[in-house]
Structure 1
Amino acid sequence: MWMGLTMGERKAVTKQLALRYQSAGRAVKGQILTELVELTGWRRDYARQALRQALEPPGLRRVRPGRKPVYPADLQPALVLCWAVLRGPAGKLLAAATGYLVPMLRAERVLDITDAQADLLVRMSAATIDRRLAREREKMRLHGRSHTKLTVRSSPSLTVSRDWLHSTIGGGARREIRRFSFDHRLGRGES
């Protein structure tokens, strides 16, 4: 019967049983496996795999060195400036425009970068531009409910006007106004 052990307890039990499992014969291995299945609630094939792996030394993960950045961090302000001059276009549009925008801004002395940096900025792909400008776009995004549209029902001035109209005009006058506006739409009303 499975006893509801925590994962740490299951690993400790597995390690202890794995020491016996390694040097045991076939019949004893079956008993150890049955004991582990009853203790942990695992299936036999998973328990067998856990017993084998419990004695293996943990594999050392090879840490790969990261790629050397192609575009230095000091290029970011120039990219943001180009993006702002064009009023925040998408990366594809900005990538297409940097070919003429960067030399123009450098000629006007608005963009103070070296020739090598200018070359890197012009060669930057649209996807890289989008990744590099993600934080800037996030700063520009509207938050909260301030940018929601005002609905007619929630407008207090329209509600007051409607209430005023119903209270001041009687039933007959309302019918007359409706008929007049209908006739006007058909071109039969008086102007």
Structure 2
Amino acid sequence: MGERKAVTKQLALRYQSAGRAVKGQILTELVELTGWRRDYARQALRQALEPPGLRRVRPGRKPVYPADLQPALVLCWAVLRGPAGKLLAAATGYLVPMLRAERVLDITDAQADLLVRMSAATIDRRLAREREKMRLHGRSHTKLTVRSSPSLTVSRDWLHSTIGGGARREIRRFSFDHRLGRGES
């Protein structure tokens, strides 16, 4: 690639000051040397002598939701026991005024409006770090099955009734409450 650029730069010096007929010959020569198509070769000859321009850095969008709204969003999410963004977005319409009336949520009217208007996708993006903190680590190695432990002489029916859906939900709630610091002492 460096060789092609060097050849292009040498030919571009001649191409710049040449007439129409000579430009065609230079272009043909460059196409034969590099294997490029004529349009691309013409563009490369024009750009070879231009100084490399600075890449324009576009300013990012101004954030719609300020950073001080994050604790209020996390509180709403925790009150509802960590639902998905779609459910939380639907619930903020009644949850935010209720929490403000109870003086649990201390935010201004403008912040409350922003919180209620927040989309489900934005809620999911803003709560990604909180969800990551709540994620259990090493779950694949903690599952107890009858097949994995031959010394366990327990029927499958008893095992599934004991560690059924209700018990799992209670374990998750217990874990969630303790991680938020609201667990029983």
> TM-score normalised to the size of structure 1?
0.65
Deviation at 1:122, TM superposition (A): 1.9
User: How many pairs align?
Assistant: 185
* Residue 53 (structure 1) aligns with: 47
Q: Matched residue of 2:52: which SS?
A: coil
Q: Does the 8 A contact of 1:106 with 1:112 survive in 2? A: yes
Is the CA contact 2:96–2:112 (under 8 Å) kept in the aligned structure 1?
Answer: yes
Deviations 1:155-189, CA, capped at 9 Å, x for gaps: 23259999999999999999999999999999999
Instruction: Report the Cα offset of residue 40 of structure 1.
Output: 3.3
1:70 Cα offset (Å): 1.9
Any stretches of 5+ residues in structure 1 without a counterpart? 1-6
Alignment partners' CA distance in 2, 1:30 and 1:151: 77
1:52-77 Cα shifts (integer Å, max 9, x gaps): 22234556655443322221101101
SS in 2 for 1:65: coil
- 3-state SS of the aligned residue for 2:9? helix
Task: Spell out the pairing of 1:90-105 with structure 2 (5 A cutoff).
Answer: 90-105=84-99
**1:20 partner SS:** helix
Partner Cα separation in structure 1 for residue 146 and residue 182 of structure 2: 30
Bigger radius of gyration: 1
**Structure 1 residues 24 and 108: CA distance shift in structure 2, 3 A:** same
Among all aligned residue pairs of Structure 1 and Structure 2, give the percentage whose two residues are the same amino acid.
100
1:153–1:159 CA contact under 8 A, matched in 2: no
Deviates more, 1:72-81 or 1:91-100: 91-100
Aligned to 2:176: 182
d(CA) in 2 for partners of 1:12, 1:78: 59
Partner of residue 115 from structure 1, selected from 93, 109, 113 = 109
RMSD over aligned CA atoms reads 14.8
- TM-score, scaled relative to structure 2: 0.67
Distance 1:180 1:120, change over 3 A: closer
| Residue 101 of structure 1: how far off its partner (Å) | 1.6
Q: Deviations over 1:121-166 (max 9, x none)?
A: 1222222212211222223234445366444432232599999999
Q: Distance in 2 between matches of 1:187 and 1:79?
A: 17
